[in-house]
Amino acid sequence: MKKLLMPILIVPLLLMAFGSPALGRPQSGTKFFFDGTTSEGLEDFFIIEKNSTQGDCAGQTLCFEPFFATTMISCPDGTSYPFEWLFLNYFVPLDAQKHFEVSINSDQVPFDWKGALSGKNASGTQNQGYAHYSSLGAGVEDCDVGDVSWQATGVGSAPRAPHQARGIVATVQKDSQGHVKITLARA
């Protein structure tokens, strides 16, 4: 059973670690990572991807991939706290003028993040609302942050090198006690 278990565990690990695009690693274009700051001094982070193959961006030249956005909620009763949005697998195509917008319509937590890309820089506004029970007992109050400006600078990743066929060399050694040691290396 031990002899059978080792290959069953090693093969999936090999595919994950050394897999080619055909084996599940997605192929895509160049990604540019943008780290931004709002006028409130809070952080935003997003990706602009060229030639994405994901979601609504498939076939589009540029795609906005938000990762997180942070706003400061301030309510009429004096309550104040940061609120962070986290986005996973959210893709928005940029229009011809390199504008993007993420709009989440909600009665409790509406949110709008829009901006424009200009070379390695981006800027825009965010607007966040929040329905909040007043700490003063006045019922539900509207905590709207209004339009908050943001700016971001991008740092691009290097384009991926063309995929070259590579091999994996597995060296199997057995010591005098019968213990097997497997060493993996790219060829």
Compute the mean pLDDT over every residue in the chain, rounded to the nearest whole number: 75
Q: Is residue 7 very low, low, confident or very high in pLDDT (cuts 50, 70, 90)?
A: very low
Q: Answer yes or no: is pLDDT of 39 > 90.
A: yes
The percent of the chain in helix, strand and coil, each rounded to the nearest 5, is 10, 50, 40
**Is residue 164 classed as helix, strand or coil in its secondary structure?**
coil
Distance CA 116, CA 107 (A): 27
Domain for residue 131, yes or no?
A: yes
Least confident range from 45-49, 129-133, 154-158, 166-170: namely 166-170
- Asked if residue 151 is part of any domain, the answer here is yes
Give the pLDDT confidence score for residue 38 in this predicted structure: 93
Kindly indicate the confidence band of residue 15, based on its pLDDT and cuts at 50, 70 and 90: very low
Residue 176 maps to a domain: no
Cα(44)–Cα(67) distance, integer angstroms: 8
pLDDT 10s digits, 122-162: 999 998 888 777 777 777 777 877 889 999 998 765 555 55
Domain membership of residue 18 (yes or no) is: no
Most confident of 18-22, 26-30, 87-91, 134-138: 87-91
**CATH at 93:** 2.40.128
pLDDT at 174 over 70: yes
For the chain, how many structural domains are there in total? 1
- Locate 111 and state its tokens: 């949110």
On whether residue 76 sits in a domain, the answer given is: yes
Residue 169: CB atoms within 10 A of its CB come to 9
Predicted TM-score (pTM) of this structure: 0.63
| pLDDT higher than 50, residue 29 | yes
Q: Which residues of 79-106 are buried (b: 16+ CB within 10 A; e: fewer)?
A: beeebebebeebbbbbeeebebebeeee
Say whether pLDDT at 28 is over 60: no
The range of the structural domain enclosing residue 54 comes to 31-156
Distance, in Å, from the CA atom of 81 to the CA atom of 160, rounded to the nearest integer, reads: 41
pLDDT in tens, 97-112: 999 999 988 877 888 8
Query: What does the pLDDT read at residue 17?
Result: 43
pLDDT at position 187 over 60:
no
The answer to the question of residue 74 being in a domain is yes
How confident is the model over 83-87, as a mean pLDDT? Answer: 88
